[in-house]
Amino acid sequence: MRKMLLLFAGALLLAAPLAGEASAEELRGRIAVSGKIGITNPADSEMNSPYGKMVVSSDAGLTGGVGLMFGVDDNVAVEMEVSRSSYDTSDFGDADVTDVSIGAQYRFQGQQHVVPYVGAGLDVLINDLDRKYTNTTVGAHVSGGLDCFVNRQVALNLELKGIESFKADVDGPNGSGKFDPSALSFTVGARFFFN
């Protein structure tokens, strides 16, 4: 996961000189809504057994969400987002994680219609397992992406987001353990600017 984040950060740094002036300068006071869909690579969890702790593997799954962004100044934006990830685990059944996050973005200025950004924020992760009871956890995220402006109101979006969270306690009829909602996800979507 760290190698992926480093590779993506390097790609963003290489793309920064090619980035677009088109909307980074015009960000102050603008409001946008966004929609995204993509894939998530969740962390493995652990389960207590009579033989000790066992690893509960997690398969890649789907994620999607909606968000609201407000431009504080020419380079800084505040973003609120609600997303949902669904995937399978080996012993906990289907896992659904709803992520309610708030964060900030720093958007780089450039020459054309592509605006790279990096961001960070705090997350509340509402965890739901098929065959077990689990609780809600808190975490933090880092993200990086590109907004490719089609026109002044519409931008296509690519984003890589890593979430690190505390583990949630798991209880059920067949044992207990720790569920880890941390994940690395890649999404594509669009942003629609109102003003």
pLDDT of residue 65: 97
Q: What is the pTM of this model?
A: 0.81
- Count the residues in the chain: 195
179 burial via Cβ count (<10 Å: 0-12, 13-18, 19+): buried
Nearest to 144 by CA among 160, 130, 168: 160
Contact 8, 160 (CB under 8 A): yes
d(CA 142, CA 178): 23
Instruction: Give the C-alpha separation, 20 to 85, whole Å.
Output: 31
Handedness of CA 16, 19, 21, 22 (dihedral sign): negative
Residue 18: the pLDDT is: 41
pLDDT at 111: 62
Give the pLDDT of the chain (195 residues) as one tens digit per residue: 444 444 444 444 444 444 334 444 578 999 999 999 999 999 988 887 777 777 888 899 999 999 999 999 989 999 999 999 999 988 788 899 999 999 999 999 866 789 999 999 999 999 998 878 889 999 999 999 999 999 989 999 999 999 999 999 888 776 788 889 999 999 999 999 988
Maximum pairwise Cα distance, the chain:
61
Question: What pLDDT is stored for residue 113 in this prediction?
Answer: 86
Q: What is the pLDDT of residue 195?
A: 83
